[in-house]
């Protein structure tokens, strides 16, 4: 779960509407945009708006066609350029995505979102130095956006700069104290810094905010094993993670995830059998 949180970049798309694709809200938005485009086929704003909706619905090819039509209608349109960058991200064409995001930045240098999108593209390539830099530009332009701070913290963490990650997570938490993910990400960074009590407190807080949170259980397991060498409590929390939905047990062995703090415990003869017994039916 922790690994998934770190590598699934929000910039690839807004929250998908696939399950609610036929909702009244989506149909109403689409109807308004279709009407505007029917009235003026060169309405760049309406075309980009419809393309954004299509991206949310997972209709990447349709979105790409509309973003391109919007760009044809308004060649300097930053929104269409950024939209084409998002379609390239969906297609796994990351270098092309960066090129489009850069063009959007050049046309609208005061728009935080375009830097943020480019940060995610660099992160997808594993270039966390540039990801941090671009996320920093987004933070500077929109300091009240907690998501920008959170993701810069993630990029810092992925590059091993955990103290800087904690600072960004803390700032994001101050903006939204109800978000369990940022709280738990800070717990993981605290674990990496050997700040055991702080990590434990954050992971427990994350569970109070979201009781079915496997990654929080794994951070608590890491606290008990790496920080306190208490195998019983560590295993109780591994079992808790499995009980509330952990499916990818590879994270229990992954040095870039929970496995880093379960070293020694996860190599014992009975650990794999314990995991198998603890899986939720």
Q: For 61-85, how does the pLDDT look when each residue is reduced to its tens digit (9 = 90+)?
A: 999 999 999 999 999 999 999 999 9
Average pLDDT over every residue of 116-144: 98
Nearest to 157 by CA among 200, 195, 123, 112: 123
How large a percentage of the chain has pLDDT more than 70? 91
Residue 263's pLDDT is 97
Residue 24's pLDDT is 75
Place of tokens 């064409």: 93
Least trusted range by pLDDT, from 2-6, 18-22, 41-45, 177-181: 2-6
Map residue 42 onto helix, strand or coil.
Answer: coil
pLDDT at 29 over 70: yes
Whole-number average pLDDT of the chain: 91
Q: How far apart are CA 32 and CA 135, in angstroms?
A: 33
User: Are the CB atoms for 2 and 188 separated by under 8 Å?
Assistant: yes
Q: How far apart are CA 11 and CA 224, in angstroms?
A: 34
Q: What are the C-alpha distances in Å from 106 to residues 72, 128, 144, 208?
A: 18, 21, 23, 43
pLDDT at 17 over 60: no
- Token code pair at residue 133: 């830099």
Residue 281's pLDDT is 65
Q: How far apart are CA 231 and CA 190, in angstroms?
A: 20
Average pLDDT over every residue of 12-34: 63
pLDDT at 246 over 70: yes
pLDDT at 198 over 50: yes
Residue 96's pLDDT is 98
Q: Rounded to an integer, what is the distance from CA 257 to the centroid of its chain?
A: 15
pLDDT at 53 over 90: yes
pLDDT at 2 over 90: no
Residue 280's pLDDT is 65
- Token code pair at residue 67: 């973003």
pLDDT at 22 over 60: no
Q: How far apart are CA 261 and CA 226, in angstroms?
A: 5
89-122 burial, b at 16+ Cβ within 10 Å, e below that, comes to bbeeebebbbbbbbbbbebbeebbbbbbbbbbbb
Q: How far apart are CA 1 and CA 111, in angstroms?
A: 32
């Amino acid at each position: 779960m922790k690994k998934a949180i770190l590598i699934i970049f929000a910039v690839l798309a807004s929250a998908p509407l696939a399950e609610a694709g036929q909702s009244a809200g989506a149909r109403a938005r689409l109807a308004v945009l279709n009407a505007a485009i029917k009235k003026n086929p060169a309405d760049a704003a309406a075309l980009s708006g419809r393309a954004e909706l299509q991206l949310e619905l997972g209709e990447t090819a349709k979105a790409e066609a509309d973003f391109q039509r919007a760009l044809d209608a308004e060649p300097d349109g930053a929104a269409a350029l950024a939209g084409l960058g998002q379609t390239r991200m969906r297609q796994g064409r990351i270098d092309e995505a960066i090129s489009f995001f850069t063009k959007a930045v050049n046309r609208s240098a005061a728009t935080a979102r375009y830097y943020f999108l480019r940060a995610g593209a660099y992160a997808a390539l594993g270039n966390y130095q540039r990801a941090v830099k671009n996320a920093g530009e987004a933070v500077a332009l929109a300091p009240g956006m907690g998501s920008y701070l959170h993701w810069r913290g993630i990029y810092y963490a992925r590059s091993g700069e955990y103290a800087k990650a904690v600072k960004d997570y803390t700032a994001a938490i101050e903006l939204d104290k109800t978000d369990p993910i940022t709280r738990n990400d800070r717990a993981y960074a605290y674990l990496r810094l050997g700040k055991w009590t702080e990590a434990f407190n954050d992971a427990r807080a994350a569970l109070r905010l979201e009781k079915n949170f496997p990654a929080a259980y794994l951070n608590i397991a890491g606290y008990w094993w790496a920080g306190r060498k208490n195998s019983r409590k560590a295993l109780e929390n591994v079992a808790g993670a499995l009980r509330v939905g952990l499916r990818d047990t590879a994270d229990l062995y992954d040095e870039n995830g929970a496995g880093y703090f379960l070293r020694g415990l996860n190599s014992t003869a009975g650990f794999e059998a314990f995991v198998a017994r603890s899986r939720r039916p």
